[in-house]
């Protein structure tokens, strides 16, 4: 990475070598990092990333929106319905849903 680069990880902590990232940031081999996930979740309070000035850390909660919560509840509702032997109300692969999607495009 270029010295002016910023490393951003919002997916999964283990995809990055956290120790190597810490060394890289301490030695200013990149400009900084934005971290939303850690190798160990929740991160330890003494994680060295918390002490670095060139790191921005956010809580891993971007998916906690009202819309996301409503959609997760719909999924749970359908799981319960299927377990009770009923048809799901919100199937992702429903031909009816495919027609609506096509009409909106």
**Each residue's pLDDT tens digit, 16-49:** 999 999 999 999 999 999 999 999 888 899 999 9
Residue 103 has pLDDT above 60, yes or no: no
**Catalytic status, residue 27:** no
Banded pLDDT at 59 (limits 50, 70, 90): confident
DSSP string, 13-42: GGGS-HHHHHHHHHTTSSSEEEES--SSSS
- Here the tokens at position 97 are 């849903």
**Catalytic status, residue 29:** no
pTM higher than 0.75, yes or no? no
**Catalytic status, residue 12:** yes
Catalytic residue among 19, 40, 41, 77: 41
Assign residue 55 a region (left: φ > 0; alpha: ψ between -120 and 50; beta: otherwise): beta
pLDDT for position 60: 76
Q: Find out whether the peptide bond into 20 is cis, omega within 30 degrees of 0.
A: no
């Amino acid at each position: 990475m270029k010295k002016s680069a910023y490393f951003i990880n919002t997916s999964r902590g283990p995809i990055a070598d956290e120790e190597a990232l810490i060394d890289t940031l301490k030695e200013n081999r990149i400009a900084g990092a934005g971290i939303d996930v850690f190798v160990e979740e929740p991160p330890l309070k003494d994680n060295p990333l918390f002490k670095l000035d060139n790191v921005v850390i956010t809580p891993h909660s971007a998916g906690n929106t009202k819309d996301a919560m409503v959609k997760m509840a719909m999924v749970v509702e359908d799981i319960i319905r299927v377990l009770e032997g009923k048809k799901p109300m919100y199937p992702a692969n429903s031909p009816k849903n495919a027609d609506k999607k096509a009409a909106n495009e």
